[in-house]
């Protein structure tokens, strides 16, 4: 069975953020991740979070780069040619958070294809930003990830297939850029989650949720029993992030 981490942006949301770590530990999780930690803007708050994690022997494996103004509809800015400087400033901010919280992975959301921007220009911008970010993060011993997201939940999202993600990784030509494989998103895009063997050299983080509903595995149609056995057979040793809205219980993996 793979190792599971709790995504604290979707799980235990009835609790204040700092209290979710204790809930995750009590629920049997061995690590955590989150989407955006940036509301905790002071160093004191970040060190409080780190102290809580250390007291519980929990590590944070992942968070995202700043994605623009989420409340205004941004879903990442990495493919927007008019926001390159904003991307670079956000990267520097993310590095400080990741170093303070001892996070080894940062995920870059490509964003929506901007209006009046061609796919070719968006791709050029995306590759350029990722090249810059991969090298900056390499100096800090932090791995950079990109994540394809389904266009049902996020219409217009620029990166929506594993093929596009792999092509982008190859174009960047860095040994510090990897694929974050979200089985929920790829299932929704019609990809077979049991046909990932050729993707494994690119994958450095996996996330799961079932469909329909984006609830825990076992509540929907995705063959997660076979998927988890396949990960074991393929020798996957990374974390599997539980990025779902729990319908019955957050820790589905405990019998």
State how far the Cα of 106 lies from the Cα of 100, in Å rounded to an integer. Answer: 13
Identify the band that residue 254 occupies on the pLDDT scale cut at 50, 70 and 90: confident
Give me the active site residues, please: 147, 243
Nearest to 178 by CA among 78, 105, 96, 87: 105
pLDDT tens, 225-243?
A: 999 999 999 999 999 999 9
Answer yes or no: is 255 within a domain: no
Say how many domains are in the chain. Answer: 1
Answer yes or no: is 220 within a domain: yes
Answer yes or no: is 41 within a domain: yes
State how far the Cα of 218 lies from the Cα of 253, in Å rounded to an integer. Answer: 10
State how far the Cα of 66 lies from the Cα of 78, in Å rounded to an integer. Answer: 10
Residue 255 has pLDDT above 70, yes or no: no
Residue 57 has pLDDT above 80, yes or no: yes
- Give the CATH number for residue 225: 3.20.20.150
Is 115 buried (19+), middle (13-18) or exposed (0-12) by CB count in 10 A? exposed
How many other C-beta atoms are found inside a 10 Å radius of the C-beta of residue 155? Answer: 10
Answer yes or no: is 247 within a domain: no
Residue 127 has pLDDT above 80, yes or no: yes
């Amino acid at each position: 069975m793979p190792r599971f981490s709790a995504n604290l942006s979707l799980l235990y949301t009835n609790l204040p953020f700092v209290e979710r770590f204790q809930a995750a530990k009590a629920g049997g999780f061995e690590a955590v991740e989150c989407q955006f930690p940036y509301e905790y803007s002071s160093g004191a708050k970040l060190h409080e979070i780190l102290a809580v994690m250390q007291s519980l022997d929990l590590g944070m494996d992942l968070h995202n780069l700043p994605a623009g103004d989420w409340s205004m509809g941004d879903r990442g800015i990495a493919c927007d040619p008019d926001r390159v400087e904003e991307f670079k400033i956000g990267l520097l901010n993310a590095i400080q958070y990741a170093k303070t919280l001892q996070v080894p992975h940062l995920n870059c959301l490509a964003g929506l294809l901007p209006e009046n921007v061609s796919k070719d220009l968006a791709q050029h911008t995306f590759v350029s930003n990722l090249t810059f970010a991969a090298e900056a993060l390499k100096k800090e011993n932090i791995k950079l990830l990109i994540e394809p997201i389904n266009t049902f939940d996020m219409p217009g999202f620029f990166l929506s297939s594993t093929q596009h993600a792999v092509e982008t990784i190859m174009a960047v030509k860095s040994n510090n850029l990897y694929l974050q494989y979200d089985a929920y998103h790829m299932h929704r895009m019609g990809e077979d989650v049991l046909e990932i063997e050729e993707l494994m050299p690119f994958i450095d983080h996996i996330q799961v949720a079932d469909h329909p509903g984006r609830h825990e595995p076992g509540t929907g149609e995705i063959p997660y029993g076979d998927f988890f056995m396949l990960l074991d057979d393929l020798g996957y040793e990374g974390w599997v992030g539980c990025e779902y809205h729990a319908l019955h219980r957050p820790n589905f993996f405990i019998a």
